[in-house]
Amino acid sequence: MTTADRPLDVSRSSGSGSRSGNKTARTRNPVEPQPQPPFVDRRRRLNRNWSLILLALAMSQFALSGGGCGVSAAPSHLATPPTDSPSSPINPTNPLKHLQKRSRAANFRLTFQQKLNASSTHLDWENTCNLKPTGLNETHSKAKRCKKRQRILQNLQNQTGRELRGIQAEDKARITTNADKLATVSTKTLDIVEKNKWRFYKGNYRFLPRLNLTSKQLNLRHAHRDLQIYVGAFTYMRNIKLHWDLANLQAKSVLSDELGRMRKSAREVLCSVEEAINLTNLLYTPNRQRAPQPRGQKKRRQAQPVVTYKILPRKLMEKRLQQFNSTLVPLVELHQQATLAARGEDVPPPPDDLMVLEQHALFTKLKFVQYLKSIRKILANQRKSLCKATTHVPKAIQKKL
């Protein structure tokens, strides 16, 4: 048997190898790491310490400045428990929204009470100038009365045109939407441009004031009375819609907001007409000093103003507003309920469907815009032919007015 055919005894060779220093069987053992010099471990330890110190300084800087990173910004299970668990606290944003909603509702209720109480204590179509001076205490010379009166009518025409352009500009800038939605600065609901679809109901609103375009003169007294009716109509419809808003939205709707703007425009034009009447009366009222009369003689009657106007009482105004024929939305009755609700009394809720009120508001706005256009056109023709007359008799002037 040769040496090559003989089997290899591993245990023996490894044992003998370990004693004899044979390196063949030791190749399978793991190599132990060589020990490093002491100065290398010391350098690594110093670098690690400096890194920890720098990290601690950076974290302290972010914590003082309120930074959004670092360990302080990391989510902590102890600080913020999971929201899915039933024992977790309520999200703080929900109570905030709830409080804001309650605050808006309380503010709207307060606004509703203020407006309705103000409408019940005084007439909205009275003192539309808000105690603004109208020229009653001024003095005018009697020279060139015609030119001065022409200037008064021109101012009235300009102010009427300004309100008309404001209404038309808002109609173009705003988007038509549902009347029951929340009001915004870019929405409206009364689109008078598409008035052809309402032509079947046009005959129901012939009672609303209008002017004859063929008239040569503008009767200021009639215009003052007509504009009072428009102010009263817009006011009553707005208050009814505010009552509906309080019961359903707790905020102002698109229709009530637009009715408020129309009411404001009607009051502005009414104030302009009242100023024109006051200035005209001051211009044509005699102001010469009368001699003192002896005793026993009756006092002479004071000169009456050229143009007189009256404020419509509430009873007469509501009689005119009852012509809005509707069994579903009676304006006078619903306005009385809204007034009582503002005082805190128990009243039935407003009707759920106020589509008829929207129709009333649409035609009232349409007729009001047409009325303003008629005022401008009549005043333009009147100013051209005003100073061509040769008569200066006050009675003739009174007939023209």
pLDDT tens for each residue of 286-300: 555 555 556 655 555
Q: Is the pLDDT of residue 120 over 80?
A: yes
- Average pLDDT on 205-219 reads 93
Identify the CA nearest to 382 among candidates 201, 150, 70, 178.
150
Give a yes or no: residue 71 inside a domain.
no
**35 within domain boundaries:** no
Range of the domain at 387: 144-183+199-285+306-400
Q: Which residue has the higher pLDDT, 203 or 219?
A: 219
Q: Which of 144, 141, 140, 221 is nearest to 386 (CA)?
A: 144
The pLDDT tens digits for 53-72 are: 877 777 766 655 554 444 44
Residue 99 placed within a domain: no
Q: Average pLDDT over the chain, rounded to whole?
A: 78
The answer to whether position 220 is within a domain reads yes
Whether the pLDDT of residue 386 is over 90: the answer is no
Evaluate whether residue 70 is within a structural domain: no
The arithmetic mean of pLDDT across residues 64-87, rounded, is: 46
| Range among 58-62, 84-88, 113-117 rated most confident | 113-117
Question: Is the residue at 60 inside a domain?
Answer: no
For residue 40, is it within any domain?
no
Per-residue pLDDT band at 77 (split at 50, 70, 90):
very low
Kindly report each contact of residues 176-179 with a partner whose C-beta sits within 8 Å and lies 24 or more positions away, as own/partner. Answer: 177/254, 178/254, 179/253, 179/254, 179/255, 179/354, 179/358
Count of domains for the chain:
1
Residue 229 covered by a domain:
yes
